[in-house]
Amino acid sequence: MVLRAPGRPLEPADLDDPAPAAGQVLVRVAACGVCRTDLHIADGELTEPKLPLVPGHQVVGTVVADGGRFAAGDRIGIAWLGEACGRCRYCRSERENLCDDPVFTGYDRDGGYAQLAVATEAFAFPLPDGLGDLRAAPLLCAGMIGHRALRMAGDAERLGLYGFGAAAHLVCQVARHQGRRVFAFTRGDDAEAQRFARELGAEWAGDSLAPPPEQLDAAIIFAPVGALVPAALRATAKGGVVVCAGIHMSDIPSFPYEALWGERSLRSVANLTRRDGEEFLALAARVPVRTSVAEYPLEEANRALDDLRAGRLRGSAVLSVA
Ligand SMILES: [Zn+2]
Ligand SMILES: [Zn+2]
């Protein structure tokens, strides 16, 4: 499924098989998660994708032929950070997520909305057995970047999650496993999302623009809505942190300094490192994290994107690739 220009639906297309370069392997795709980032790319909010583009950066598949690190038949995952340069100041200081010259899967390089994809071996993840393809796919971005965001929340006991979608439904389970208390914030009228959050262990779920029953020690904002930033700061206690975990957000309205005063901090989380991914896959198996999946056939990728845009999903949309 190919994006030819932003703002247009993806189109089915017959492409040449991708050719792996040195250090890469060819992967037969089994499933690919649909991420809000894919929506920002398709809608033109992220402005520099390669075009035409095969989107998708939560790719689960099997290696087609023996490579250096993997053998034919190995099941691997391909995530958003397709490759980092290894030379820049960020790569040299364990911050490859901030690499100056990265290759992002499904943005700079064709991704997993297809039967075949290439992966740079050093940046792919071996996947544990026992986790089905569909359920593994959302771990590769929603889970891994959600995990990085949760780490940035420090040891916060009272954790707010703003936007209860693919990432929050995984983070909520990890946070509960760690003994944290979870407060879920959704659109005021979204009773179904609030029920879903309570099922996964949130002790409270309610309107994101209303105050929570008690103050938070940290908040993670997954929804791409700038107005949630002052709301989350107001809901957060002195010394607390508000983490913006999305790649794109509408403008943040101005707010009085008082909302930040008291040593509150506000930060973003960008991309992921390989270490984030490895840590999260191990943690997800221990919890164990259960992915709630809405399955779509590959050729219905546009319907999956529309459902994500409209907020009709519970958990993660995943494309199954025959
Ligand atoms: Zn770099
Ligand atoms: Zn993503």
**How far apart are the C-alpha atoms of 233 and 169, rounded to whole Å?**
22
Neighbours of 126 (CB within 10 A): 13
Query: How far, in Å, from the CA of 103 to the mean position of ligand 1?
Result: 10
Q: Note the pLDDT tens digit of each residue in 275-303.
A: 999 999 999 999 999 999 999 999 999 99
How far is the centre of ligand 2, averaged over its atoms, from the C-alpha of 31 (Å)?
14
Query: What's the whole-number mean pLDDT along residues 44-61?
Result: 97
Starting from the CA of residue 97, give the closest ligand: 1
Cα(99) to centroid(ligand 1), Å = 4
Residue owning tokens 């994809």: 117
Ligand index nearest the alpha carbon of residue 92: 1
Could you tell me the pTM of the whole model?
0.95
* 127 Cα to the center of ligand 1, angstroms: 25
**Single-letter code of the amino acid located at 218:** A
Angle at 167 between CA 174 and CA 117, to 5 degrees: 115
The pLDDT of 71-92, averaged and rounded, is 98
Stretch 32-42: mean pLDDT:
97
Which ligand approaches the C-alpha of residue 94 most closely? Answer: 1
Ligand 1 mean position to 285 CA, how many Å? 30
Question: Above 90 in pLDDT, residue 131?
Answer: no
Q: What is the mean pLDDT of residues 138-157?
A: 97
Of 189, 238, 236, nearest to 212 by C-alpha is 236
Residue 128 has pLDDT above 90, yes or no: no
* CA–centroid distance, residue 236 to ligand 2 (Å): 26
Distance CA 277, CA 81 (A): 10
For the chain, report the end-to-end CA distance as a whole number of angstroms.
Answer: 13
C-alpha 119: how far from chain center: 18
pLDDT band for position 182 (cuts 50, 70, 90): very high
> Comparing 12-16, 63-67, 168-172, 175-179, which segment has the lowest mean pLDDT?
63-67
Strands 236-244 and 216-221: what pairing?
parallel
Distance 160 CA to ligand 2 centre (A): 20
Residue in 81, 32, 34, 37 with CA at minimum distance from that of residue 245: 37
Beta-bridge partners for 206: 185
Cβ atoms of residues 7 and 44 within 8 Å? yes
pLDDT surpassing 90 at residue 144: yes
Residue labelled with tokens 């919890």: 287
The average pLDDT across 34-53 equals 96
Q: Are strands 59-63 and 24-34 parallel, antiparallel or unpaired?
A: antiparallel
Q: What share of the chain is helix, strand, coil (3-state, %, to 5)?
A: 30, 25, 45
Distance 82 CA to ligand 1 centre (A): 12
Q: What is the 3-state secondary structure (H, E, C) of 97-128?
A: HHCCCCEEECCCECCCCCCEEEEEHHHCEECC
The per-residue pLDDT of the chain, averaged, comes to 96
pLDDT (0 to 100) of residue 7: 96
What is the whole-number distance in angstroms between the Cα of residue 167 and the centre of ligand 2? 9
* Mean pLDDT within 57-78: 96
User: How far, in Å, is the centroid of ligand 1 from the Cα of 298?
Assistant: 33
Question: Which amino acid is residue 58, in one-letter code?
Answer: Q
Given pLDDT bands bounded at 50, 70 and 90, which one contains residue 67? Answer: confident
Ligand with minimal distance to 141 CA: 2
Q: Kindly give the distance from the C-alpha atom of residue 10 to the centroid of ligand 1, in angstroms, as a whole number.
A: 31
Compute the distance from residue 263 Cα to the ligand 2 centre, in Å: 30
What local confidence, expressed as pLDDT, does residue 281 receive? 96
Give 136 Cα–ligand 2 centroid separation in angstroms: 14
Q: Which ligand is nearest to the CA of 79?
A: 2
198 φ, ψ (degrees, to nearest 5): -65, -40
Is pLDDT above 90 for 129?
Answer: no
> Residue 271 CA: which ligand is closest?
2
Contact 125, 81 (CB under 8 A): no
Structure tokens, 199: 């099922």
Rounded to the nearest whole angstrom, what is the distance from the C-alpha of residue 223 to the centroid of ligand 2?
13
Tell how far the Cα of 272 is from the centroid of ligand 1, in angstroms. Answer: 13
Mean of pLDDT values over 212-222:
97
Q: What pLDDT is stored for residue 322 in this prediction? A: 80
Residues of the chain with pLDDT > 90: what percent? Answer: 95
pLDDT value of position 41:
97
Q: What is the CA radius of gyration of the chain?
A: 19
